[in-house]
A and B are shown apart, each in its own frame.
Chain A
């Protein structure tokens, strides 16, 4: 399997650019997703997303 190892992918993106300037209490925020690092189309379909920065595969525990 030539799947990229998620451990080699950057886990964090610089937050200030992607979060609102004034964050309020009692609110949920999801960082805005930058448009970058697209998978080739055949790989994207197999993985379930075109976006490498959104790809979060499941590690099956009982294996």
Chain B
């Protein structure tokens, strides 16, 4: 069961309209290392995790990632809200517009639609947790690229928040990995 809260985890204040920037930010909405992939990856990997700490951290980070997905969707929506066609033509957002109008849709910055092949559940908790740690690093790198190309202070502010969350999540997955390693070691020798 999930409960929706009618609030954002972090306030998003976009300064101006910017369809080109929206077309790049959408990478984190529907891209391989984006927030949707992160959420589904962790929530999908929960079922056969061997320790309660690992079950909890996957549930809770997977849930937080959905809140981040909502923040990214909000940024994209606000960067393109009420845009007339004349402001869209000739920008990288034009390709999105012809298929989706001003709806937000999960594809990456190059227009490739979201797919479950972006993540795996390997039937091996050690392999799964390593994938998650790599995913957090890749998302951190993506946020740094996005921060570098952004000129909207409100967008940069939200991206910095999201980037720091990747650092925190990496730490938690690292701790969960240790717990699972020690659990498996204890099973082998006793």
Q: Point out residues on A near B: beta carbons under 8 Å.
A: 20, 27-30, 32-33, 45-49, 51, 54-58, 60-62
Complex contact A60–B171 (CB within 8 A): no
Q: In B80-108, which residues have CB < 8 Å from any A CB?
A: none
Which residues of A lie under 8 Å from residue B147 when comparing CB positions? 58, 60
With A30-B170, A62-B148 already in contact, the answer to whether A48 and B162 are too (CB < 8 A) is yes
A60 to B160, CA, bound (A): 11
CB closest residue in chain A, given B150: A60
Which residues of A lie under 8 Å from residue B131 when comparing CB positions? none
B183 at the interface (CB under 8 A from A): no
Which residues of A lie under 8 Å from residue B170 when comparing CB positions? 30
A20 to B183, CA, bound (A): 13
Q: In B38-63, which residues have CB < 8 Å from any A CB?
A: none
CB closest residue in chain A, given B185: A24
Per DSSP, are chain A's interface residues mostly helix, strand or loop, or mixed?
loop
A51 to B144, CA, bound (A): 21
Complex contact B168–A20 (CB within 8 A): no
Complex contact B181–A27 (CB within 8 A): yes
CB closest residue in chain A, given B166: A48
With A32-B178, A33-B175 already in contact, the answer to whether A60 and B148 are too (CB < 8 A) is yes
Which residue from B160, B162, B178 sits with its C-beta under 8 Å from A57? Answer: B160
Residues 165-179 of chain B: 1 if any A CB is under 8 Å from the residue's CB, otherwise 0? 101101101110110
Which residues of A lie under 8 Å from residue B161 when comparing CB positions? 45-48
Which residue from A30, A55, A58 sits with its C-beta under 8 Å from B144? Answer: A58
A20 to B10, CA, bound (A): 36
Which residues of B lie under 8 Å from residue A28 when comparing CB positions? 130, 133, 174, 177
Shortest Cβ distance from residue B144 to the other chain A in the assembled complex, whole angstroms: 5
Complex contact A29–B165 (CB within 8 A): no
A-B contact pairs, 13 of them (CB 8 A): A28-B177, A30-B133, A30-B173, A30-B177, A32-B178, A45-B10, A45-B161, A47-B164, A48-B161, A55-B164, A56-B167, A58-B144, A58-B147
Which residues of B lie under 8 Å from residue A55 when comparing CB positions? 164
Q: In B18-54, which residues have CB < 8 Å from any A CB?
A: none
CB closest residue in chain B, given A51: B168
A61 to B39, CA, bound (A): 30
Shortest Cβ distance from residue B133 to the other chain A in the assembled complex, whole angstroms: 8
